[in-house]
Copies of this chain bind each other. A is one copy, B any other.
Amino acid sequence: MSKPLFEKIALVGIGLIGSSLARVICREGLAGHVAIATRSAETLKRAEELKLGDGYTIDAKEAVRGADLVIVSVPVGASGAVAQEIAPALKKGAILTDVGSTKAFVIAQIKPQVPEGVHFIPGHPLAGTEESGPDAGFPELFENRWCIFTPLEGTDPAALEKLSAFWRSCGANIDTMDPEHHDMVLAIVSHLPHIIAYNIVGTADDLEAVTKTEVIKYSASGFRDFTRLAASDPTMWRDVCLHNKAAILEMLTRFSEDLASLQRAIRWGDGDKLFDMFTRTRAVRRSIIEAGQDIDVPDFGREAVAHRRLRAVPSPAAALY
């Protein structure tokens, strides 16, 4: 077997992202040793039961000691505390990266803690499901998804290339941009959709005239699409809202303006305006499918799954972990 990309990788945080990384690192043989740290003893025990790594500890310092690559996968609000904790134990020449959904805030939290000689490269793989925890991960999570780096000034090109090679081995495509642009892009493609989904599910849950049972029973007529995002991890999304505030408020303002205009068209019966608005959005979905960012099956494929026109097959990777 060829030499792995890294001698030792430390995974700090072993939720959906961390545990998917553990699985793909194992499948692809990307590390000689995988050290897993999480502050919850229960989660750590579960990670060990799932055989996600080679070493397990609730002490993040111990995990990162001697590691060539340290990946912090925690809610963004915890990134500062984690960085402070692990900083003294980081090896000179190590690459330190994260997977946080907001970048300017995370950089402000982590950068001041990073010791001289450690390569801090902020990152964000745009991948996930509505599930969380070490059981939720799977090795294909990053396949054909984008991993965005927001490198700091003076980043070592060799370290950036090595980290890029790692993510490519996980199946991801690489992009780089500045942190502020990242935060603006993510506010529209990810943060606003989650907030809107949480909001509409809340509105439906609060009605007096329509019972909760009716909302559930009849949800296949549209509503259920929003409940997936609204089932995402509350801690993660609280932190995103708190720490990408400016960009999110900007997108919410635009969304509400547009909605007021649409509402006015409904109130005044402006059918032509409604038809035009509902027509131009159709092309967006087609582009997403053509870009390989969604499957070309009606109803996200779930009707095909439900009606057994698709059948589960054993994953070729399943045997590996």
Contact = CB atoms under 8 A, between A and B. Distances in A.
Contacts of A279: 234
B225 A228 contact: yes
Interface SS of chain A: helix
A298 B138 CA distance: 11
B223 A189 contact: yes
A185 interface: yes
Contacts of A190: 218, 221-223
Contacts of A184: 209-210
A221 B189 contact: yes
A288 interface: yes
Nearest to A192: B200
A2 interface: no
In this complex, which of A238, A281, A301 has the most chain B Cβ atoms within 10 angstroms of its Cβ? A281
A155 to B, nearest CB: 22
Interface residues of A, number: 121
B231 A282 contact: yes
A269 interface: yes
A274 interface: yes
B315 A307 contact: yes
A307 B134 CA distance: 20
Nearest to A124: B221
A203 B129 contact: no
A249 B231 contact: no
Given A256-B256, A310-B311, 11 more contacts: A140-B303, A189-B215, A193-B225, A197-B222, A198-B278, A205-B281, A217-B291, A227-B281, A234-B274, A249-B267, A311-B311
27 contacts: A126-B220, A130-B299, A140-B307, A146-B217, A146-B218, A186-B221, A188-B223, A189-B204, A194-B222, A195-B266, A196-B226, A198-B278, A199-B258, A203-B251, A224-B285, A227-B284, A228-B285, A231-B286, A237-B278, A238-B278, A241-B266, A252-B263, A256-B263, A295-B305, A301-B310, A304-B305, A310-B312
